[in-house]
Amino acid sequence: VLSPLSSNLIREGHIEEGQSRPPASRMEALLSASRLKDYVDAHGGKRVLKRILIANNGMAATKAIMSMRQWAFLELGSQSELEFVVMASKDDLEANAEFIRLADAYVEVPPGKNTNNYANVNLIVQTAIKERVDAVWPGWGHASENPALPKALSEAGIVFMGPTAPVMHALGDKIASTILAQSSKVPCIPWNGDGIMAEIQSDGSIPEEPFKKACLQSYEEALECVRRIGYPVVLKASEGGGGKGIRKCTNDEELKVGWEQVTAEVVGSPIFMMQLCTGARHLEVQLVGDEYGQVVALIGRDCSTQRRFQKIFEEGPPTVADKDDFREAEKAAQRLAMSVGYRGAGTVEYLYKPENKGFYFLELNPRLQVEHPVTEGITGVNVPALQLQIGMGIPLERVPDIRRFYGIDPNGDSKIDFLEDKYIYPDRHVIAARITAENPDDAFRPTSGRIERVRFQSSPNCWGYFSIGHSGAIHEFADSQFGHLFASGPTREHARKALQLALKNILIVGEIRNPTEYLVELAETEEFKDNTIDTAWLDKLIAEKAVNVKFNVNDMVFYGACLKSFLHMQAQKEEIIDGMKRGHLPLESTLNLLQSFQVEIAYNSVKYNFQVLCTGPDTFCLTINDCDIEARFRRQPDGSLYVRAGDRVAQISGVEEPMAMRLRVEGRGTLTFPKVRDPSELRSDFNGKLVRYLHADGADIKEGEPFVELEAMKMIMSLRTTVAGTIHHTLAPGAIVGAGDLLATLTLADPSKVQMIKAFSGPFSLSNTGPEMSMSPQGSAADLLAMAGPSITEAISGVLCGYSAPRHLSGGGTSTVGIVQQIFSSIDEADGLSMSDALEECCKLIGTFLENERFFAGLVGGDETQTIKRFQGDPEDLLGKIMAHTNLSMAVGIITSILRSLSDGPVLEGEVAALPPCLLTQLEELSKFPGAGGYGPVKLLAAQLLTQMKKPLALRREEVHSMLIDTPRKDLPKVANAYDAERRMYFGLDLISSFFSDSDNSVRTKAAEVFILRTYRGYTISDMEIVDSKEVIDGTPGAVLHLQWSFSPPGVVGSHRKGYAIVVPSMEDLESLGKSWKMPATELTDVHILVAKVPGDKSAMKHGEVVKALASKTADLMSKIAGLLDEKKAQYVDVLLAHAGRSPSHLHFLKTHGWKEVETYRNMRATLPKLIELPRIEAKYNMTPLQHGRVFALDLGVSKADKKTEVIFARGSSHLVLTTD
């Protein structure tokens, strides 16, 4: 709270809170006092002001301390020459206000409204006396224009750094100053006090009678006055300012409401009315007077860019008026101030009519104004430091900054005639922008809340001041302005562009809204660039919503969905972790919300519904109307997110608010997505206090009519209804409300007139979308192959960790098993992608599975309920493992697919030496997993693969070859039905099919018979007949072998079906079957065509293309022999394609499908579809494959009867003895 040195001393017990920071030594204190006194004496001053109370907060206090410290360092060589004591309310302390940090000491004052603290004259005076200060700096707002403050301080012997009480009362009061101005023949706008004159009294005040005569005492008086001067008018409180206590009125109804609001905003202030001067500019002259009767005019400012009389942009010097004309306005202001002995900083405001070059007196503000840094930028005069020196009694003409302004020796003592001598006209233009906590999307309503950080990079022509630092806040009693940016340039246009760059580069993160993006667009309007605006210009733009931040709606909606998805995930995880800390495991339904959920974004009466799949710890797939966009997130230390979609990266941040979600996209702007609300509920849009309802409870109210007044940020604001109805109050006046709180309910007059929110329809795409940005939901393996291998691995790793599979991995009938096999698709030696690269990826995936499941595998056998108790890590780590374990069945499918791919690929091909060393260790661990708990398939395959790895393919082929030679034909059924793990591998169908092309006819024949025997192990086989007679062979050119057999389901008597198989050497021979094929004379049920040797490729991508081409040729054959098959009463044809060095392909053709291939059965074992009754199920259900393998099928079925009943069918076939070991 204090400066670092003061904080340390308090902790060590050397000083008490409220005391100043002591100098390092008595000598330093003496030197400091000496330097300051020497300066005062050298420049004709009367008193030393060292210890100063800042009777203000926010921007005013921050700027004052910074400016006076800067002066002390530059002029005296040390910032410690001055000591600053600040008043600090509890609200400002909790808001981490910057001015408290800058001060040497603070005094805590009561919280709440400023009448409790910064505007409390008695409190300020007592604090000044207690803290033994030399002077009080009032700033602007609060008590800065209250004559009681300088009067009380003068009586206490403390310098007030501003005008004397009588002068402040006369000129500071807008009514009195206007009377004095028209008495001095200064042109004034028609107002309720027209013609009232007053002589200036010796104490600088005016008589009470003319003053009261110029005040409006009631609404009725105001109504009578407006009949004379005419609408439009401005109703003003003389003690108001900064946009408070002022209302524009264009009719009697607005006048009545305006009267009530003005009197409520500035309680007890005199009220007056003036005609609204249309088409005018707001120009002002900066004055500073000393105690010797001199007044200097520090040029002036143009403050015509106003919203509800609140300045937005300020600039100087005023270029809209001629220099000579403006100089005359300066002189008039100087004479007015000199006539009353004005001391300190003040501002005379004029309305200027460009068409007739006329100036009209508006008011004199007897205080420093917010925009004074514009004057500093064009004159080089440090205004708060000038106030300090005036307070020390230094004459204006002896102040170095003033002398520099006039181009004379800064250390000289020559006289200056401030009315006649010419100053050096500035060669720079300065434009300022106020940074406020206001919402430009909602008529600039003030907002309050935390500010996490403000980032602004200054440059030689851009600078700024901020009253809020890191982790600060704007509380409900604070002024909405917390920053001020300034830009300069040799011309107005240069300054304008520099200001736009400064506004674009500022970053404000927190709960509040701010208008920086709006101001960038405002400065880009043609009227502002051409300098043709007037004081009503901005209000008109706001009413017409003519200025909007430009952005692509779909882009912002997408980033809003990304932010909402991220916030959803964070909230879900926090809730689950909180429950686990209390001993509760998450429900499966809760975990499902970490995998898949919906987010809704509403904008401009359109609702965008996104289905979101969380595909990894930092990846999402967002789908809307069958359009997919994949996004990767990276959370930054500052809480923002980098979102990557395709080749674009955006930095986003935002927050969920009670009534909306606010999104900021760096470099594009801020957008608010309102939550879909019930129109019968009238809720508050901001924090504040309910002042009053504008309609009685139960009264009828029109659409767009104000229904309540709230006080926020020291202003009274009305809220309007969006529909007509009967109002019902829910709160009492004086109630404190927050954003989103229910203020009233409406019984709708006509519910049919309520505007409906429409769902977004049509395709959804981002601007400059590349092909990779939006993928079809019918993505196939071919789509997948466009991704790099590591991306595939990441997606599969996400599934292993409990996340969803991306739609382009799981959609369009592409099974996860098939996708896993695509890891090997990137193998292309020409491109430097080797088998070892793919194997490394497999090891990573198996390692992920082990890391996730090792803990749960250890619980199998009785400790499954002790998950939380047995886990030794953090709850966050346990949540990750629980998520992964929830996906166990899919993870097992992935790992078994990897193990099969290894078995069918590098291990089958004898490339054991190429396997990574870690793989053997991983397989050994997997083989020791329990058979129960869902780990059985992984355990079994790992054990088999270990055996395969220990026996090279060449040796296995040699052993099988020997067995086929040595085994008599009568013993082949025993060999074929062997079920032990080792023999199952020796006589696996894939390996057996590789002998169909053996040069030994006996080996070919036995291999074919074993193949059929193993394929039909689920049936009772009889009458196996091998036909190799010359007559039959010659009848089917290209055939080398024919087999016939009878089969029936086990236990079924008298139901013999006929099977038939033909072995052909190549695809050319297969194609020749369409010309001449002599089938057996009997009727057939199943037909097998075994092609002994067909092309293949090591690259999965190229191999897939090969299989596709072979399938097309086979389909052509089937269309030619369909009649022959029908003649034989055949029902089913299996075509086996034996690829060299790869597992064989199986193509299935059914009569029920018109002898077309059933692609969903592709690569299933020949009899599997019938064994697991898929055709029977498909008769009743429309089936969507989820995952298919050689011996199992997982499908989603939708009933053909009611079109909605869904059933998941998981079926498989095994000839092994099932155990739980």
Q: Which residues are catalytic?
A: 367
Which residues are CB-contacts of 1102 (< 8 A; sequence separation ≥ 6)? none
The Cα-based distances of 391 to 52, 160, 299, 387, 475 in angstroms read 11, 7, 22, 6, 33
Q: Return d(Cα 108, Cα 2) in angstroms, integer.
A: 12
Q: Return d(Cα 543, Cα 532) in angstroms, integer.
A: 19
Listed residue (414, 417, 411) closest to 43, CA to CA:
411
User: Which letter does DSSP use for residue 240 in this model?
Assistant: E
* Angle at the Cα of 730 from the Cα atoms of 725 and 733, rounded to 5 degrees: 110
Q: β-pairing, 281-289 with 660-665? A: unpaired
Dihedral (CA of 912, 915, 919, 921) sign = positive
Beta-carbon-side half-sphere exposure of residue 81 (alpha carbons within 13 Å): 25
The Cα-based distances of 456 to 96, 485, 506, 507, 890 in angstroms read 18, 10, 5, 7, 50
Q: Return d(Cα 288, Cα 283) in angstroms, integer.
A: 17
For 545-548, which contacts have Cβ atoms below 8 Å and span 24 or more sequence positions? 547/518, 547/521, 547/522, 548/521
Are 167 and 341 a contacting pair, CB within 8 Å?
yes
Q: Return d(Cα 48, Cα 388) in angstroms, integer.
A: 10
Distance of CA 83 to the CA centre of its chain: 43
Q: Which two tokens stand for residue 250?
A: 């264009």
3-state secondary structure of 419: coil
Which residues are CB-contacts of 719 (< 8 A; sequence separation ≥ 6)? 682, 684, 685, 706, 707, 708, 709, 710, 743
Which residues are CB-contacts of 189 (< 8 A; sequence separation ≥ 6)? 274, 275, 277, 351, 360, 361, 362
Are 352 and 280 a contacting pair, CB within 8 Å?
yes
DSSP character string of 753-791: GSPPPEEP-S----TT--TTTSB-TT--HHHHTTS-HHH
Question: Which amino acid is it at 504?
Answer: K
Which residues are CB-contacts of 678 (< 8 A; sequence separation ≥ 6)? none
Q: β-pairing, 606-616 with 758-759? A: parallel
| Chain position carrying tokens 């896993």 | 820
Listed residue (1125, 1049, 1036, 1105) closest to 1076, CA to CA:
1036
Q: Return d(Cα 307, Cα 310) in angstroms, integer.
A: 5
Q: Return d(Cα 500, Cα 523) in angstroms, integer.
A: 7
Which residues are CB-contacts of 1046 (< 8 A; sequence separation ≥ 6)? 1021, 1022, 1023, 1056, 1057, 1058, 1059
Listed residue (103, 1, 2) closest to 56, CA to CA:
103
DSSP character string of 1007-1060: HHHHHHHHHTTTSEEEEEEEE--HHHHHHSTT--EEEEEEEE-TT--S--EEEE
The Cα-based distances of 376 to 163, 315, 392, 430 in angstroms read 21, 11, 20, 9
Q: Which two tokens stand for residue 1049?
A: 């389901």
Q: β-pairing, 596-603 with 481-489? A: unpaired
Which residues are CB-contacts of 1120 (< 8 A; sequence separation ≥ 6)? 1074
Cβ neighbours around 551 below 10 Å, total: 16
